[in-house]
Amino acid sequence: MHLSSSLSSFCFDMKLFLSLLLIVMVPFNHAEGPPSPGYYPSSKFSSLGFNEGFRNLWGPQHQSVDQGSLTIWLDSSSGSGFKSLTRYRSGYFGAAIKLQAGYTAGVITSFYLSNNEDFPGYHDEIDIEFLGTTLDKPYTLQTNIYIRGSGDGRSIGREVKFHLWFDPTRDFHNYAILYTSNEITFLVDDVPIRRYPRKSDATFPMRPMWVYGSIWDASSWATEGGKYKANYHYQPFIGKYKYFRVGGCTADAPGSCVPPSTSPSGSTGLSQQQRNAMEWVQKNYLVYDYCKDPKRDHSQIPECN
Protein backbone atom coordinates (compact mmCIF):
# COMPACT_ATOMS: atom_id res chain seq x y z
CA MET A 1 0.00 0.00 0.00
CA HIS A 2 2.82 2.36 0.86
CA LEU A 3 4.56 1.69 -2.49
CA SER A 4 1.31 2.19 -4.41
CA SER A 5 0.70 5.46 -2.60
CA SER A 6 4.22 6.63 -3.36
CA LEU A 7 3.84 5.77 -7.05
CA SER A 8 0.51 7.61 -7.22
CA SER A 9 2.07 10.63 -5.56
CA PHE A 10 5.04 10.48 -7.96
CA CYS A 11 2.75 10.29 -10.99
CA PHE A 12 0.69 13.23 -9.74
CA ASP A 13 3.82 15.29 -9.08
CA MET A 14 5.16 14.43 -12.53
CA LYS A 15 1.89 15.46 -14.21
CA LEU A 16 1.92 18.70 -12.26
CA PHE A 17 5.53 19.33 -13.22
CA LEU A 18 4.84 18.69 -16.91
CA SER A 19 1.76 20.93 -16.82
CA LEU A 20 3.75 23.76 -15.24
CA LEU A 21 6.57 23.20 -17.72
CA LEU A 22 4.13 23.51 -20.62
CA ILE A 23 2.71 26.74 -19.18
CA VAL A 24 6.20 28.20 -18.81
CA MET A 25 7.31 27.11 -22.28
CA VAL A 26 4.39 28.60 -24.24
CA PRO A 27 5.40 32.28 -23.86
CA PHE A 28 8.99 31.44 -24.74
CA ASN A 29 7.87 29.94 -28.02
CA HIS A 30 6.42 33.35 -28.89
CA ALA A 31 9.44 35.09 -27.39
CA GLU A 32 11.62 33.52 -30.07
CA GLY A 33 10.23 36.13 -32.40
CA PRO A 34 8.64 36.11 -35.85
CA PRO A 35 10.00 34.24 -38.85
CA SER A 36 12.60 36.12 -40.84
CA PRO A 37 11.13 38.68 -43.24
CA GLY A 38 14.01 37.94 -45.62
CA TYR A 39 14.50 41.63 -46.47
CA TYR A 40 15.78 44.44 -44.28
CA PRO A 41 14.88 47.96 -45.52
CA SER A 42 16.85 49.63 -42.70
CA SER A 43 20.08 48.29 -44.21
CA LYS A 44 19.55 50.51 -47.24
CA PHE A 45 20.08 53.70 -45.22
CA SER A 46 23.03 55.05 -43.26
CA SER A 47 22.24 56.16 -39.74
CA LEU A 48 22.20 59.85 -38.88
CA GLY A 49 23.11 61.65 -35.72
CA PHE A 50 20.26 63.67 -34.26
CA ASN A 51 21.63 67.06 -35.29
CA GLU A 52 22.20 65.89 -38.87
CA GLY A 53 18.50 65.47 -39.53
CA PHE A 54 16.50 66.97 -36.65
CA ARG A 55 16.14 69.87 -34.25
CA ASN A 56 14.37 70.50 -30.99
CA LEU A 57 10.79 71.68 -31.41
CA TRP A 58 9.67 72.22 -27.81
CA GLY A 59 10.89 71.50 -24.28
CA PRO A 60 14.58 72.19 -24.97
CA GLN A 61 15.41 71.87 -21.26
CA HIS A 62 14.10 68.29 -21.42
CA GLN A 63 16.36 67.13 -24.21
CA SER A 64 20.03 66.13 -24.40
CA VAL A 65 22.18 64.94 -27.30
CA ASP A 66 25.27 62.80 -26.81
CA GLN A 67 27.30 61.62 -29.80
CA GLY A 68 24.25 61.78 -32.05
CA SER A 69 21.94 59.95 -29.65
CA LEU A 70 18.93 61.77 -28.23
CA THR A 71 17.37 61.57 -24.78
CA ILE A 72 14.07 63.34 -24.07
CA TRP A 73 12.10 63.26 -20.86
CA LEU A 74 8.83 64.22 -19.25
CA ASP A 75 8.38 65.53 -15.73
CA SER A 76 5.68 67.55 -14.03
CA SER A 77 6.93 70.75 -15.68
CA SER A 78 7.20 69.68 -19.33
CA GLY A 79 7.84 67.04 -21.93
CA SER A 80 9.83 67.49 -25.14
CA GLY A 81 9.53 67.13 -28.89
CA PHE A 82 11.70 67.25 -32.00
CA LYS A 83 11.25 67.77 -35.73
CA SER A 84 13.08 66.94 -38.96
CA LEU A 85 14.94 69.62 -40.87
CA THR A 86 13.16 68.64 -44.10
CA ARG A 87 9.64 67.83 -45.33
CA TYR A 88 9.11 64.60 -47.25
CA ARG A 89 6.42 63.40 -49.60
CA SER A 90 7.58 59.79 -49.31
CA GLY A 91 10.36 57.74 -47.82
CA TYR A 92 11.72 55.52 -45.08
CA PHE A 93 11.70 57.02 -41.58
CA GLY A 94 13.12 55.06 -38.69
CA ALA A 95 14.94 55.20 -35.37
CA ALA A 96 16.21 52.86 -32.69
CA ILE A 97 14.20 53.58 -29.54
CA LYS A 98 14.45 52.40 -25.94
CA LEU A 99 11.55 52.93 -23.56
CA GLN A 100 11.43 53.46 -19.82
CA ALA A 101 10.68 50.51 -17.56
CA GLY A 102 8.30 50.58 -14.62
CA TYR A 103 5.14 52.62 -14.20
CA THR A 104 4.63 54.77 -17.30
CA ALA A 105 0.83 54.97 -17.50
CA GLY A 106 -0.47 58.07 -19.23
CA VAL A 107 2.83 58.75 -20.99
CA ILE A 108 3.22 58.67 -24.79
CA THR A 109 6.61 58.20 -26.45
CA SER A 110 6.29 58.72 -30.19
CA PHE A 111 7.86 58.81 -33.65
CA TYR A 112 5.60 60.02 -36.44
CA LEU A 113 4.96 62.00 -39.63
CA SER A 114 2.65 65.00 -39.72
CA ASN A 115 1.86 68.26 -41.51
CA ASN A 116 -0.13 69.75 -38.64
CA GLU A 117 2.00 72.90 -38.61
CA ASP A 118 1.31 73.44 -42.31
CA PHE A 119 -2.39 72.57 -42.19
CA PRO A 120 -3.68 73.18 -38.66
CA GLY A 121 -7.15 71.76 -38.24
CA TYR A 122 -6.88 69.88 -41.53
CA HIS A 123 -3.75 67.79 -41.28
CA ASP A 124 -2.41 64.32 -42.16
CA GLU A 125 -0.50 62.11 -39.74
CA ILE A 126 1.14 58.66 -39.59
CA ASP A 127 1.94 57.56 -36.04
CA ILE A 128 4.05 55.14 -34.09
CA GLU A 129 3.07 55.68 -30.44
CA PHE A 130 4.12 53.73 -27.39
CA LEU A 131 1.31 53.82 -24.85
CA GLY A 132 2.65 53.81 -21.30
CA THR A 133 1.51 51.13 -18.91
CA THR A 134 1.20 49.94 -15.34
CA LEU A 135 3.73 47.74 -13.56
CA ASP A 136 2.00 44.47 -14.40
CA LYS A 137 1.28 44.95 -18.13
CA PRO A 138 3.34 45.34 -21.33
CA TYR A 139 3.62 48.44 -23.47
CA THR A 140 1.17 48.82 -26.34
CA LEU A 141 2.53 49.96 -29.70
CA GLN A 142 -0.19 51.96 -31.45
CA THR A 143 -0.03 52.62 -35.18
CA ASN A 144 -2.42 55.24 -36.46
CA ILE A 145 -3.24 57.22 -39.59
CA TYR A 146 -5.12 60.52 -39.86
CA ILE A 147 -6.19 61.93 -43.21
CA ARG A 148 -6.99 65.59 -43.96
CA GLY A 149 -8.02 66.63 -40.49
CA SER A 150 -9.65 63.40 -39.36
CA GLY A 151 -7.78 63.76 -36.07
CA ASP A 152 -8.71 67.41 -35.56
CA GLY A 153 -11.79 67.11 -33.38
CA ARG A 154 -13.52 64.53 -35.57
CA SER A 155 -11.57 61.54 -34.22
CA ILE A 156 -11.53 59.36 -37.32
CA GLY A 157 -8.39 57.52 -36.34
CA ARG A 158 -7.27 54.30 -37.97
CA GLU A 159 -5.68 52.64 -34.96
CA VAL A 160 -4.12 49.20 -34.99
CA LYS A 161 -2.41 48.21 -31.74
CA PHE A 162 0.14 45.55 -30.85
CA HIS A 163 2.05 44.11 -27.97
CA LEU A 164 5.66 43.24 -28.75
CA TRP A 165 7.49 39.92 -28.76
CA PHE A 166 10.32 41.43 -26.69
CA ASP A 167 10.73 43.85 -23.79
CA PRO A 168 11.18 47.31 -25.38
CA THR A 169 12.67 48.68 -22.13
CA ARG A 170 15.68 46.36 -22.07
CA ASP A 171 17.38 47.43 -25.27
CA PHE A 172 17.05 49.56 -28.39
CA HIS A 173 14.88 48.23 -31.22
CA ASN A 174 14.29 49.70 -34.67
CA TYR A 175 10.86 51.15 -35.46
CA ALA A 176 10.04 52.59 -38.86
CA ILE A 177 7.40 53.94 -41.22
CA LEU A 178 7.82 53.34 -44.95
CA TYR A 179 5.53 55.75 -46.78
CA THR A 180 4.97 55.86 -50.54
CA SER A 181 2.19 57.13 -52.77
CA ASN A 182 0.70 53.62 -52.81
CA GLU A 183 1.08 52.23 -49.30
CA ILE A 184 2.16 52.77 -45.71
CA THR A 185 4.08 50.02 -43.95
CA PHE A 186 4.95 49.95 -40.25
CA LEU A 187 8.03 47.92 -39.32
CA VAL A 188 9.62 46.69 -36.09
CA ASP A 189 13.20 45.44 -36.48
CA ASP A 190 12.46 45.27 -40.23
CA VAL A 191 9.47 42.99 -39.67
CA PRO A 192 6.30 44.44 -41.28
CA ILE A 193 3.56 44.55 -38.65
CA ARG A 194 0.94 46.53 -40.58
CA ARG A 195 0.38 47.47 -44.22
CA TYR A 196 -2.11 50.17 -45.20
CA PRO A 197 -2.61 50.27 -49.00
CA ARG A 198 -4.00 53.23 -50.89
CA LYS A 199 -7.51 52.21 -51.92
CA SER A 200 -8.72 55.72 -52.78
CA ASP A 201 -7.49 59.31 -52.58
CA ALA A 202 -10.08 59.98 -49.86
CA THR A 203 -8.56 57.42 -47.49
CA PHE A 204 -4.85 58.09 -48.02
CA PRO A 205 -2.56 60.96 -46.94
CA MET A 206 -1.15 62.68 -50.01
CA ARG A 207 0.60 65.86 -48.79
CA PRO A 208 4.24 66.25 -47.67
CA MET A 209 4.97 65.74 -43.98
CA TRP A 210 7.71 66.42 -41.44
CA VAL A 211 9.16 63.74 -39.15
CA TYR A 212 8.55 64.23 -35.43
CA GLY A 213 9.12 62.57 -32.10
CA SER A 214 7.99 63.46 -28.59
CA ILE A 215 7.29 62.41 -25.04
CA TRP A 216 4.21 63.90 -23.39
CA ASP A 217 1.39 63.42 -20.89
CA ALA A 218 -1.69 61.89 -22.51
CA SER A 219 -3.34 60.77 -19.29
CA SER A 220 -6.82 61.47 -20.63
CA TRP A 221 -6.67 58.48 -23.04
CA ALA A 222 -3.30 56.73 -23.34
CA THR A 223 -3.58 53.86 -20.85
CA GLU A 224 -6.76 51.78 -20.91
CA GLY A 225 -8.81 54.73 -22.13
CA GLY A 226 -7.56 57.06 -19.41
CA LYS A 227 -8.18 54.71 -16.49
CA TYR A 228 -4.56 55.05 -15.35
CA LYS A 229 -2.92 58.49 -15.27
CA ALA A 230 0.67 59.70 -15.27
CA ASN A 231 2.06 59.50 -11.74
CA TYR A 232 4.89 61.98 -11.27
CA HIS A 233 6.14 60.10 -8.25
CA TYR A 234 7.95 58.05 -10.95
CA GLN A 235 9.37 61.03 -12.88
CA PRO A 236 11.30 61.66 -15.01
CA PHE A 237 9.89 59.50 -17.80
CA ILE A 238 12.61 58.99 -20.38
CA GLY A 239 12.70 58.12 -24.07
CA LYS A 240 15.97 57.36 -25.84
CA TYR A 241 16.52 57.53 -29.62
CA LYS A 242 19.53 56.77 -31.79
CA TYR A 243 20.49 55.50 -35.25
CA PHE A 244 18.03 57.75 -37.06
CA ARG A 245 17.47 56.58 -40.63
CA VAL A 246 15.70 58.89 -43.06
CA GLY A 247 15.65 58.69 -46.82
CA GLY A 248 13.26 59.30 -49.68
CA CYS A 249 11.75 62.09 -51.72
CA THR A 250 11.70 65.53 -50.15
CA ALA A 251 8.82 67.90 -50.78
CA ASP A 252 10.94 69.74 -53.35
CA ALA A 253 12.34 66.66 -55.12
CA PRO A 254 11.59 66.30 -58.85
CA GLY A 255 8.66 64.15 -59.92
CA SER A 256 11.10 61.53 -61.15
CA CYS A 257 12.21 60.80 -57.57
CA VAL A 258 11.52 57.16 -56.70
CA PRO A 259 10.80 56.36 -53.03
CA PRO A 260 12.33 53.31 -51.35
CA SER A 261 10.43 50.05 -51.55
CA THR A 262 9.24 47.85 -48.71
CA SER A 263 9.90 44.64 -50.64
CA PRO A 264 13.06 43.19 -52.22
CA SER A 265 11.50 43.22 -55.69
CA GLY A 266 11.14 46.99 -55.61
CA SER A 267 7.43 46.72 -56.36
CA THR A 268 4.41 47.66 -54.29
CA GLY A 269 3.43 45.23 -51.58
CA LEU A 270 5.30 42.61 -49.58
CA SER A 271 7.11 39.44 -50.54
CA GLN A 272 5.61 36.13 -49.41
CA GLN A 273 8.28 35.85 -46.72
CA GLN A 274 7.42 39.32 -45.43
CA ARG A 275 3.71 38.50 -45.45
CA ASN A 276 4.40 35.35 -43.43
CA ALA A 277 6.29 37.37 -40.83
CA MET A 278 3.54 40.00 -40.65
CA GLU A 279 0.84 37.35 -40.32
CA TRP A 280 2.76 35.78 -37.43
CA VAL A 281 2.89 39.12 -35.60
CA GLN A 282 -0.79 39.84 -36.22
CA LYS A 283 -1.82 36.35 -35.12
CA ASN A 284 0.15 36.46 -31.87
CA TYR A 285 0.46 40.12 -30.85
CA LEU A 286 -2.30 42.24 -32.43
CA VAL A 287 -4.58 43.54 -29.66
CA TYR A 288 -6.86 46.01 -31.49
CA ASP A 289 -7.89 46.64 -35.11
CA TYR A 290 -10.23 49.56 -35.83
CA CYS A 291 -11.68 47.72 -38.83
CA LYS A 292 -12.93 44.95 -36.52
CA ASP A 293 -14.37 47.27 -33.87
CA PRO A 294 -18.20 47.02 -33.95
CA LYS A 295 -18.46 50.36 -32.16
CA ARG A 296 -16.88 52.23 -35.05
CA ASP A 297 -18.97 53.98 -37.70
CA HIS A 298 -17.83 52.10 -40.79
CA SER A 299 -19.26 54.73 -43.11
CA GLN A 300 -16.32 56.89 -41.96
CA ILE A 301 -13.72 54.19 -42.67
CA PRO A 302 -14.71 52.83 -46.10
CA GLU A 303 -11.30 51.19 -46.59
CA CYS A 304 -12.40 48.55 -44.08
CA ASN A 305 -15.39 47.45 -46.16
User: Catalytic amino acids?
Assistant: 125, 129
Q: What is the 3-state secondary structure (H, E, C) of the chain?
A: CHHHHHHHHHHHHHHHHHHHHHHHHHHHHHHCCCCCCCCCHHHHCCCECHHHHEEEEECHHHEEEECCEEEEEECCCCCEEEEECCCEEEEEEEEEEECCCCCCCCEEEEEEEECCCCCCCCCCEEEEEEECCCCCCCCEEEEEEECCCCCCCCCCCCCEEECCCCCCCCCCEEEEEEECCCEEEEEECCEEEEEEECCCHHHCCCCCEEEEEEEEECCCCCCHHHCCCCCHHHCCEEEEEEEEEEEEEECCCCCCCCCCCCCCCCCCCCCHHHHHHHHHHHHHHEEEEHHHCCCCCCCCCHHHC
